[in-house]
Amino acid sequence: MLAILHFITLVVTTLFAAAAAALVNWLLLRGTFHLMCPATAARTQGKAASVIPMRVELVPGTVRVARAFAGRR
C-alpha cells in the first residue's frame, strides 16, 4: 500500500513539474516575441507624419564601384 502511495506521489509531482515547465516555456516564448517586435512598429501605426523618410538614392562611390565591377565581368 505504501509503494502505491509513493508511486502516485511521484506521478503527481511529475505532472506538476511538466505543467510548470510548459508554463515557463510559454512565458519565455511570449517575452521573446515581445522583444523581437521592431522598435518602429509603435511609431508607424498611428502617426504617419513622425516617420523619418529614408534615402533611396545611390551615393557616388557606390555607382563607381558598380561600374568598375561590371567592366571586369
Residue 1, helix vs strand vs coil:
coil
Residue 72 CB-half CA count within 13 A: 5
Condensed to tens digits (0 to 9), the pLDDT of residues 8-40 reads 999 999 999 999 999 999 999 999 888 887 665
Condensed to tens digits (0 to 9), the pLDDT of residues 32-59 reads 888 887 665 555 555 555 556 666 676 7
> What is the chain's Cα-based Rg?
29
**What pLDDT, on a 0 to 100 scale, did the predictor assign at position 62?**
78
**What pLDDT, on a 0 to 100 scale, did the predictor assign at position 47?**
54
Q: Dihedral sign for Cα 4, 10, 16, 19, please.
A: negative
End-to-end CA distance of the chain: 84
Alpha helices in the chain (DSSP H): 2-36, 41-46, 60-72
Is the pLDDT at 65 greater than 90? The verdict is: no
- Rounded to two decimals, what is the model's pTM? 0.48
